[in-house]
Amino acid sequence: MSNDYDDVRHNLITMLEELDERLTTITQEVRHTDEVVEKDSEEQATQNENNEVQDYLGNFARVEIAAIKQAIVRIDRGDYDICQTCGEVINPERLKILPYLAQCIKCASLAEKI
C-alpha cells in the first residue's frame, strides 16, 4: 500500500463504518417490528411511502459501501487513482471530492449518457 493514500484509506474506512451504522438503522426502521400497521388507508399510504424512501436510502448506502470497499482494494493493489475503464489517471481533485470513484470524469460522463 502506498503511503500517499494512508489517510485516504483511513477516511474510507471511517466512511464505511458510518454507512454500516446508517444501514443498520435504516434496516431496523424498515422492519419496524414494534409499529402497528395503520388501518386507515391514508396512514397506510404514508407508511408505504416512508418504507419506499427508507428502502431507497438503504439501497443507496449498499451501493456506496460496495464502492468504498472497491476503493480500499484499489489502494491496497496500488491502482487507486487509475480509471477502471480507460486506465488513465483520475484527477486528484475528483478523488478528493468523492474518494471512492473508480472512473475519470470522461469515462463517468460517457457512462451517464448510455
Domain boundaries, the chain: 1-80, 81-114
| Span 8-26, pLDDT tens digits | 999 999 999 999 999 998 8
pLDDT at 100: 97
pLDDT at 1 over 60: no
**Phi and psi dihedrals of 50, rounded to 5?**
-60, -40
d(CA 92, CA 73): 18
pLDDT at 32 over 70: no
Banded pLDDT at 3 (limits 50, 70, 90): low
Average the pLDDT over each of 31-40, 87-96, 100-109 and give the range with the smallest value: 31-40
In the chain, what is the greatest distance between 2 CA atoms, to the nearest angstrom?
59
